[in-house]
C-alpha cells in the first residue's frame, strides 16, 4: 500500500464530461489524488462517485472558470484538502461560435473568458505553490485549431492559439524553477462539444487525450498533438499557408 503523502495531487478543470472526465478517471487510476471542478454539479458528482468507487481520493467542487473568485476557491480547497498540487490539467473550455460578424458580444466574452482567461487564472492560482516547492507540472488542453485556425471557429481558434503562445512563454519563465509546462493539441475528439457542432467525422474517444496527459506527466515534454496524424497537417499548413487558405474556403461549420 502506498503512503498517502507520496500520492501526487492533480487538479482537473472541466471534469464533468468529455476530455476532462476521461483525464480525471485516468489520473485516479494511476494513483493521483484528484480535485475536479465544473459547473454542472450533477454530472461532476457522478464522475466523482465513479472515481471513488474505483478507490480514488476525489474532491469534487463547483467551479466556474469565468469567475476569478471561483477559481481561487477551487485551488485553495484542493491545497487545503491535499496539501499540495503536483499537476494542473487546465481543460475547461467551450467550443462552437459561428461566423465572426454573427457573434453576440456575450458569446465573444464567454469564449475568451472561459478558454483563455480561465486557463491563465487557473495557472496563476497553483503556480506560486509549485514554484515555492520547486516542483510541478501544468498541462493545458489547447487544440489543433490553435495551429490550423478553422473558418467558422475563428474566435475559438484564436483562444487556442493564444493558449499555445501562453504555454510557450510560461515554460520559458518557469522551467528552470522546476515547473514543467505542456500544451496538448487535440484534433477532433468524440465529446459533447463535437456532438453539438455536428462534426461529420469518425473521431477517437477522449481516452487518447488522457493517454497524452500521462505521457507528458512522465516525460515533462513541451507538448503533444493527438491523434498523431494532425502533426504533419500542422507542418503542412505552416509550410503552405496560401494553399491551406484555398482549401479552407470549402470548409463549413
Ligand atoms: N472535443 C474536441 O474535438 C476537442 C478538440 C480540441 C480541444 N478540445 C478542448 O478540450 C477541452 C474539453 O472539451 P470537450 O471536448 O471534452 O467538451 P465537453 O465535453 O463539452 O467538456 C467541456 C468541459 O468544460 C467545462 N466547462 C465549460 N465551461 C466552464 C466554466 N465556465 N467553468 C468550469 N468548467 C467549464 C464543462 O463543464 P460544465 O459545463 O459542467 O461547467 C465540461 O466539463 C476544451 O478546452 C476544448 O476546447 C476539444
pLDDT digit string, tens, across residues 118-158: 999 999 999 999 999 999 999 999 999 999 999 999 999 99
The 10s digit of each residue's pLDDT in 148-201 is 999 999 999 999 999 999 999 999 999 999 999 999 999 999 999 999 988 888
pLDDT recorded at residue 96: 82
User: What share of the chain in percent tops pLDDT 90?
Assistant: 91
> Is 230's C-beta closer than 6 angstroms to any atom of ligand 1?
no
Q: Is the CB of 19 under 6 A from ligand 1?
A: yes
- CA 43 to ligand 1: nearest atom: 40
Domain ranges of the chain: 4-248
Mean pLDDT of the chain: 95
**From atom 8 of ligand 1, which residue's Cα is the shortest distance away?**
143
For residue 13, how far is its CA from the centre of ligand 1 (angstroms)?
9
Residue 100: pLDDT band (50, 70, 90) is very high
Q: Tell me: the pLDDT tens digits for 85-98? A: 999 999 999 998 88
β-partners of residue 33 are 9
Residue 2 in this model has a pLDDT that exceeds 60: no
The model's confidence at residue 6, banded by pLDDT at 50, 70 and 90, is confident
Q: Which of 11, 13, 69, 92 to mutate to test the pocket of ligand 1 (most atoms within 8 A of CB)?
A: 92
pLDDT at 4: 59
Q: Which atom of ligand 1 is nearest to the CA of 142?
A: 7
CATH architecture for residues 4-248: 3-Layer(aba) Sandwich (3.40)
pTM above 0.95, yes or no: yes
Task: Supply the residue whose CA is at minimum distance from atom 25 of ligand 1.
Answer: 14
- pLDDT of 1: 38
Q: Does residue 230 have an active-site annotation? A: no
| Residue range 10-62, pLDDT digits in tens | 999 999 999 999 999 999 999 999 999 999 999 999 999 999 999 999 999 99
Kindly calculate the radius of gyration of the chain based on its CA atoms and give it in whole angstroms: 18
Cβ neighbours around 249 below 10 Å, total: 9
Summarize pLDDT for 60-86 with one digit per residue, the tens: 999 999 999 999 999 999 999 999 999
Which among 156, 166, 217, 230 is annotated as catalytic?
A: 156
Cβ(95) – ligand 1 distance below 6 Å? yes
Q: Output the pLDDT for position 67.
A: 98
Amino acid at each position: 500500500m502506498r503512503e498517502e503523502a507520496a500520492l501526487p495531487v492533480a487538479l482537473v478543470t472541466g471534469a464533468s464530461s468529455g476530455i476532462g472526465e476521461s483525464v480525471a478517471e485516468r489520473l485516479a487510476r494511476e494513483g493521483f489524488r484528484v480535485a475536479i471542478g465544473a459547473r454542472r454539479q450533477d454530472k461532476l458528482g457522478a464522475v466523482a462517485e465513479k472515481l471513488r468507487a474505483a478507490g480514488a481520493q476525489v474532491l469534487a467542487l463547483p467551479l466556474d472558470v469565468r469567475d476569478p473568485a471561483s477559481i481561487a476557491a477551487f485551488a485553495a480547497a484542493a491545497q487545503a484538502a491535499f496539501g499540495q498540487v503536483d499537476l494542473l490539467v487546465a481543460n475547461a473550455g467551450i467550443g462552437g461560435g459561428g461566423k465572426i460578424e454573427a457573434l453576440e458580444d456575450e458569446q465573444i466574452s464567454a469564449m475568451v473568458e472561459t478558454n483563455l482567461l480561465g486557463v491563465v487564472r487557473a495557472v496563476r492560482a497553483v503556480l506560486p505553490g509549485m514554484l515555492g516547492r520547486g516542483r510541478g507540472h501544468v498541462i493545458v488542453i489547447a487544440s489543433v485549431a490553435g495551429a490550423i485556425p478553422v473558418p467558422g471557429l475563428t474566435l475559438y481558434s484564436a483562444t487556442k492559439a493564444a493558449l499555445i503562445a501562453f504555454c510557450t512563454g510560461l515554460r520559458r519563465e518557469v522551467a528552470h524553477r522546476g515547473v514543467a509546462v505542456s500544451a496538448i493539441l487535440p484534433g477532433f475528439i468524440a465529446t459533447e462539444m463535437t456532438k453539438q457542432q455536428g462534426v461529420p467525422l469518425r473521431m477517437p474517444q477522449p481516452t487518447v487525450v488522457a493517454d497524452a496527459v500521462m505521457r507528458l506527466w512522465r516525460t515533462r515534454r513541451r507538448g503533444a498533438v493527438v491523434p498523431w496524424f494532425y502533426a504533419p497537417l500542422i507542418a503542412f499548413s505552416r509550410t503552405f499557408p496560401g494553399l491551406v487558405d484555398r482549401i479552407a474556403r470549402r470548409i463549413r461549420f
